[in-house]
Amino acid sequence: MTVTKESLIGDILDFDVETAEFFFEIGMHCLGCPASRGESIADACAVHGTDADALVEKINAYLAKKGV
């Protein structure tokens, strides 16, 4: 899986639940909420005032390291 700013949070979590730590780091603690699972990374970062590109980079690096 390659994550982009348009990737939905729910899809990322379904692919690898351990990516939740990266969302927790930006203050997104409501990952079980149906609305948050349907948000894109860009939307979540806008709401939480964080850099979407940096989050995408972290998640992709993590997934690449795991070899998934």
Range of the domain at 29: 9-66
In a domain, 60, yes or no: yes
Total tally of structural domains belonging to the chain: 1
pLDDT at 46: 92
Residue 1 belongs to a domain: no
H helices within the chain, ranges in order? 9-15, 20-25, 34-37, 41-48, 52-66
Q: pLDDT tens, 12-35?
A: 999 999 999 999 988 887 787 788
**Cα–Cα distance list, 63 to 5, 66, 67 (Å):** 15, 5, 6
With respect to residue 3, please indicate whether it lies within any of the assigned structural domains.
Answer: no
Is residue 31, in this structure, part of any structural domain at all? yes
The strand pairing partners of 40, in sequence order, are 8
Burial class of residue 16 (count of CB atoms within 10 Å of its CB; 0-12, 13-18, 19+): middle
Residue 4 in any domain: the answer is: no
| pLDDT of res. 26 | 85
Q: Does 2 map to a domain?
A: no
Does residue 34 form part of some domain? yes
